[in-house]
Structures are given as structure tokens and as C-alpha cells.
Amino acid sequence: MGGGELMAQVLEFKLPDLGEGLTEAEIVRWLVAVGDVVAIDQPVVEVETAKAMVEVPCPYGGVVTARFGEEGTELPVGAPLLTVAVGAVDSAGITDGGSGTDAPSSAAQAADGTGRPAAPGSSEAAESSGNVLVGYGTGAPAARRRRLRPVPATTAPAAVATVPAAAAAAPVAAASQDGPVAVISPLVRRLARENDLDLRRLTGSGPDGLILRADVERALRTPAPAEPAPARPVAPAAPAKGERVPLRGVRGAVADKLSRSRREIPDATCWVDADATELMAARAAMNAAGAPKISLLALLARICTSALRIHPELNSTVDMEAREIVRLPEVHLGFAAQTERGLVVPVVKDAHTRSAESLTEEFARLTEAARQGALTPADLTGGTFTLNNYGVFGVDGSTPIINHPEAAMLGVGRIVPKPWVHQGELAVRQVVQLSLTFDHRVCDGGTAGGFLRYVADCVEQPAVLLRTL
């Protein structure tokens, strides 16, 4: 073991908070391996949250010394993702080998003179990202780098002599079961490995908790406590037959949200058939003018925002702790989109301020991002009202579950030719079924019926909409 100075710093990068309400993420694919050199803000892992697939950039540049978690593992926010060695490393600090998911190399242990890796926001980092991840600041002032000279093995007895009696009697401690271990010497690591000793269970007697060879030898001499007699096993109930699909990722988020909606929201649904012939004719006339095409969804969204201005009770949420209904000034319109990964609800922000052209463009952008799995958490949060066009699946009606914590959802069925009495005569018209599911706490049936009737009137006679423009 050489006696050179260790100049490297090992920074631990933890899974950041990737968006509103997210508490965990599943590792889908590692983009780097142990030993790879990474640049600042380089994506290092692809994770799937309850809302989207995200590539996570590392705010540090250096050499990857360890990865925590295999592909398919679910990690909570704040759990270690990987460690990165920043700066030059003396040959004395190179580890004697280990797998990519083990604790980091010995260089990792000499990060800040304590045997622990530097904190993510540490001012000792040689260089950090200019971008901001939640929990990772960027403006910390530079501090003087501390240097640690490795402790020679021959000095171990002297160091042990200074250990209090209580520490000598109990070398095994309930240390952290994850993250780097405070060890510098490869010999110490090898001795522990050859004797199947978990270094994470030791309390070091060296400076700042550094684990020395004497600590390992003392732990090997101390007999392990007798294991209590195992309880008599109870035969588990036979699991139900059939394929088991884990409820996680998007599917798990949908399950949690819909279950919560059913538990908390006393919903009711009303519906009406409407003659959409005039709306379809108006759209055809708009699109024949040579300007960018207007989508039917955009026209329905424009009708929704106008109806919400007249009936603001339905653009609200309920605060049960304060026992208040919170009426929201902006309309952030969600729309249901089916993808290969499941149902997602992208949100068009400030929909009440957008024209039909602007709504068409934003619907197209978000729909394409949903198909590519590129929606960000910001694209999927903050909705105040949802428009659900289930007619694209060839069905006429539905009683959808409200997207918690919103207060209402408008459903639109397929538009099909049906016999209809028009101007006193039987005719074939383009008919659509509209449904409104609403939270009965925010309004009564009269308000919900008024909203739905206004929407139907605009569908049947688009000129009604001109009164509110």
C-alpha cells in the first residue's frame, strides 16, 4: 500500500425528486458502467416514474465508482444512485476490485477526510452542474479541499489504544446498510471479504470513524450472538393461480389515483345526446380556408373553457382539511391519451387563454410526446378539468372516474349518423353523446346540468360560442 496523498473526491449522487408527488422510480436502463468517465449533466440512468420515463443527468463529472441497484429495481427518492470520483486519484487509492453494485472503490472512502463520500451539495466538489435538480444546489462557494494521508497498517495498534473501552467491547454497530463504507486499505477489505464479514456493521476506531485492520480482527474474534430459535413456520395461504402483474410505474399510479378518487369523491354523472352536424360543418369550413387544420378536440376544448367561465364551480378542488371549496382562476385542461405504457393525462396549461389553433398545436405536441414516452412530469401535473374523448375507441358513452383532485370530467362519445328530428322532420344527422361526471360536493345537479346543456348547445349551434368570445 503506497503512502501517496489521496486527492480524489467521491461524490454520492442520490435519486432526485423528479416531479410533484413522486416518491420512487424504477431503474429501466443504466447508461453508464462502473469505471466510465461521465461529464457534467450527462444522462447516467433511465428511470420510470409513476408519470413518465425520464433520463436522469448527473450533476458531477468524473469516474463512476459504484452503481446502486440493478435494472428493474425500484428506488425511493433520496436513495443513492451512483458515486463519482472527481479529481486525480493516487495509485494508493485504487480498490482491489469489486462488482458494479458493491460499495465504491477505496478512493471513494477518502473523499473528504472522513471515509464518507462528500454530500451532494458539498462545496468541496471540484465542479458541479449549472442545472438544478431538487436537492442539488449549484451556487455553493468553493471551500478548501482537505487532504487525507492513508494510515499505514503498522499504526493500527496505536490507534486502537485510544479507543474507549465501550467501543472496544462492541465493535459491531448498527451502521447504515447502504452507501459507501469508511475503509481506505484494500487489505482491510480483503480480510473482511475472506471471512464473510459485513463492513457496514462495524464502527471504525480510526479518525472520524475510519475502519482499521484491528477493528476487523477484533470483530472476527468476537463470537456472534446466538441466534434465537426460529419460530415455527406457518404455512402461507396458497396464492391465487394465474399470472401476476406488478402494479407499478404508470399502471400503479393509475390504480392509486383512481382508487383514491372512488374513496374520496361522491361523484354523479349526467349525459345528453347532441346533434353535432353543424359543428362538423363549421370545422370543415375552417379547414377549407387553407390555414392550419383545426382538430375536433380543440373545438371541444374551446367549448369547455367557455362553459367553465360560466360555471366556475366545476373548475375547482375540495380541501377537506379546511372544509373549503377552492375555485381555481386558470383552466389547465387535461385530456386522456392511451399509450403503449398505459393511460396518461397530459395537461394543456392556460387553456382558457388559447385559440383553437393554439389548442390544436398543443394537443398535437403532447400527444406525440405521449406516444414517444417523452412527457415530463410538468406535462402530466396541475390539471384542473379533464376532457375525455373516448369516442376514438368506437364507444358511445361512459361514466368515467374523476381525475383526483379535480372536480369534473367531460366525456365525448363517437360521432355517428343517426335518425334525428331536425326542424320538424326526420333526418340523418351526426349525433354524439356527451356525459359529465362531477363531484357532488362542489355543486348540485342544476349547475352540472347547466354546464352540460351549454356544451350541447355549442355543439349543435356553434354560433352560440360567439357570444362568449
Tell me which residues are annotated as active site: 440
If you search the block for the grid coordinates 480483503, which residue do you land on? 190
H-assigned helices in 311-444 = 356-372
The three cell numbers of residue 243 are 399470472
Of 181, 1, 188, 180, the C-alpha closest to 91 is 1
Question: Is 300:356 a contact under the CB 8 Å cutoff?
Answer: no
Q: Using CA atoms, how far apart are residues 18 and 20, in angstroms rounded to an integer?
A: 7
Question: Is 12:21 a contact under the CB 8 Å cutoff?
Answer: no
Using the CB atoms, write b or e for 415-452: b if 16+ within 10 Å.
beeeebeeeeeeeebbbbbbbbbbbeebbeeebbebbb
Angle at 42 between CA 132 and CA 342, to 5 degrees: 80
Q: Using CA atoms, how far apart are residues 24 and 49, in angstroms rounded to an integer?
A: 7
H-assigned helices in 288-355 = 296-310
Of how many residues is the chain composed?
Answer: 469
Question: Is 19:134 a contact under the CB 8 Å cutoff?
Answer: no
DSSP 43: E
Of 421, 445, 417, the C-alpha closest to 431 is 417
Residue 40's identity, in one-letter code, is: I
What is the DSSP pairing of strand 337-339 with strand 342-344?
antiparallel
How many CB atoms sit inside 10 A of residue 346's CB?
Answer: 23
SS3 458: helix
Q: Using CA atoms, how far apart are residues 346 and 295, in angstroms rounded to an integer?
A: 17
Of 342, 240, 248, 203, the C-alpha closest to 50 is 248
How many CB atoms sit inside 10 A of residue 468's CB?
Answer: 14
Q: How many CA atoms lie within 13 A of 399 on its CB side?
A: 6
How many CB atoms sit inside 10 A of residue 361's CB?
Answer: 15
Residue 278's identity, in one-letter code, is: E
Q: Using CA atoms, how far apart are residues 185 and 79, in angstroms rounded to an integer?
A: 26
CB burial of residue 12 (10 Å; 0-12, 13-18, 19+): buried
